[in-house]
Structure 1
Amino acid sequence: MAKAAAKKTAPAAAPSVERRPALAGRVVSATDVKVEVLPPAERMSLRAPEASVAALSKALGLTLPKQPKTSAAKGGRTALWLGPDEWFVIDEAGKDPLADCAKVTALHSAVGISHRNVAFAVTGPAAAAAINAGCPQDLSLEAFPVGAASRTILGKCEILLLRTAADAFRVECWRSFSDYVFTFLSEAASDAAA
């Protein structure tokens, strides 16, 4: 038998753990609307019974909202009410809401979803009109005031919507839908400006 030549192979490259935001840096500006991708943030899906809300609120440093279509914000952290026992927590201050919840012994479920979502800022006098191009929700200030939050749709995609100012919104969607949502909002911004 012939001797098999030993082959030296290079070691496999280490997998990258670098966070690469979807659509990073993309911005569209029209006359009265600007759509831009927001920087990465820590996100958490939180479920808990009423009996656990006080302990979780204390750990998170903000009072979890208990009313439909509301949010609470403090120190770079925002909690959106999504249901009687469900919140979406966003931390833009670089803190870890999962670590804060891990210290709570009260019954709850906290799941990190930071890499799942992408966020967009839609701002300007025609921001509500741009979003309403694909969202059936009444976004007038009377019906959807500053701080209002909801799970709704934009075109064919589920989004989370938060009004951050009279003429500004935060739109959250799953990463896999981010190109669709950005393109939809970009076209709607152009139409709203026309």
Structure 2
Amino acid sequence: MSSPWLRPRFPLDDAALPSGPRFTLADAPPAERFVFRGGEAARQSCSAAFGVELPTRLGAAGQSGERAALWLGPDEWLLITESESVEALAAAIEDALGGVPHALVDVSHRQVGLVVSGADAARTLSAGCPLDLRLKTFPVGMATRTIIDKAEIVLWRRGEAEFRVEVARSFSPWLAAALGEAARGAPKV
């Protein structure tokens, strides 16, 4: 029999995530993640293998089913999939790229995803994020690397009142607590 001390543990297993009529913080579905870097030829080959067009403009996100490609920089993307194994996806991308120079790094265990939703989602995130998160300046589908207070995150607006936040595992308990506190004190507009 295995020891309960040795079982895999999610960093927010014991956290009471806030949930209410205007703000909800929840775990994102389990996902595999890669950071992909490469030039235009690598981007095109990776797009074909991944099944999602890797965006070429600032703040864009591409999505198809349970896969997403978030633009992080001129030659850098975060690839997220909720349905593939790391090994199968990495092999498919590596096979498609052949000898094209690129970097593909599995970051699945480095970070976790959180879903921030509700009418107060943008205002709550704004308590620690320097970006203007109003819908007209941060529209649905936009994604970027930014910060919330002291934690680096990748922020993706998936709906008018829904965001996905990717954060380092070690910062996730702090971020959940900070967002919960911000939600309780978010001024009504």
TM-score (norm 2): 0.88
Pick closer, same or farther for the CA change 1:149–1:174 going to 2, 3 Å.
Answer: same
2: CA distance between counterparts of 1:74 and 1:31?
29
Pick closer, same or farther for the CA change 1:44–1:19 going to 2, 3 Å.
Answer: farther
Structure 2 gaps, min length 5: none
Amino acid at match of 1:92: E
2: CA distance between counterparts of 1:88 and 1:76?
14
Do 2:114 and 2:165's aligned partners in 1 also have CA atoms closer than 8 Å? yes
**1:47 Cα deviation from its structure 2 partner:** 0.4
Indicate whether 1:170 and 2:164 are aligned.
yes
Q: Determine which of 77, 80, 83 is the counterpart of 1:93.
A: 83
Amino acid at match of 2:94: A
Structure 1 gaps, min length 5: 1-12
Indicate whether 1:102 and 2:91 are aligned.
no
Amino acid at match of 2:12: L
Q: Which residue of 2 aligns with 1:140?
A: 134
Do 1:26 and 1:36's aligned partners in 2 also have CA atoms closer than 8 Å? no
**1:191 Cα deviation from its structure 2 partner:** 1.5
RMSD of aligned residue pairs (Cα, Å): 1.9
Amino acid at match of 1:132: S
2: CA distance between counterparts of 1:99 and 1:147?
28
Pick closer, same or farther for the CA change 1:193–1:118 going to 2, 3 Å.
Answer: farther
Question: How many positions carry a matched residue from both structures?
Answer: 180
Q: Which residue of 2 aligns with 1:65?
A: 55
Indicate whether 1:74 and 2:64 are aligned.
yes
Q: Which has the higher helix share?
A: 2
Amino acid at match of 2:110: R
After TM superposition, the runs of 4+ consecutive aligned structure 1 residues lying more than 4 A away are none
1: CA distance between counterparts of 2:109 and 2:139?
29
**1:21 Cα deviation from its structure 2 partner:** 2.1
Q: Identity, % of aligned pairs? A: 41
Q: Which residue of 1 aligns with 2:36?
A: 46
Q: Which residue of 1 aligns with 2:45?
A: 55
2: CA distance between counterparts of 1:27 and 1:94?
27
Pick closer, same or farther for the CA change 1:185–1:34 going to 2, 3 Å.
Answer: same
